[in-house]
Amino acid sequence: MGCNIRFFGSMDSGYTWLRFEGVLDVARLTEFSAAFRGVPKGEAVLIDLRRVRGLDSVFLSELLLFKRQRIGRLSVVIAPSGPVARLFAIAGFGAKLDVFTDEAEAIAALGNGRRAETVDGQS
């Protein structure tokens, strides 16, 4: 069970894009907590969970804490089906977060509608 976290973003995109992959559980707490802490305060954030195979209550708690501490906008994009979509539906996360299954809609909700370039220059 592993977790891959990639930071995307650029000065002109107006938001930070965090893409999480794999399993997000208590064993990866330090990794995803560090990713959340690495986002500049006040910057809009796109949390991409489409490649996540599973997550636990520890990640969900950290995600909600991250949202409460944000000044900027936050969108979450998930796969339209699968374990994350089922968990978000059961837990009612649509009422707590701006959750989308379409990347373009999630980006538009951040207020700028532009896709970020990756930190390493890839997209």
Domain spans of the chain?
A: 3-109
Q: Let me know if domain 3-109 sits in CATH 3.50.50.60.
A: no
Phi-psi region of 118 (alpha: psi -120 to 50; beta: other; left: phi over 0): beta
* 8 Å CB contact between 110 and 116: no
**Exposure pattern of 24-51 as b/e (b: 16+ CB <10 Å)?**
bbeebbeebeebbeebeeebbbbbbbbe
pTM of the complete model: 0.82
Residue pLDDT tens, the chain, 123 long: 455 666 555 445 778 889 999 999 999 999 989 999 888 888 899 999 999 999 999 999 999 999 998 878 999 999 999 999 999 999 998 889 999 999 999 999 998 544 443 333 333
- The rounded distance, in Å, linking the Cα atoms of 122 and 28 is 25
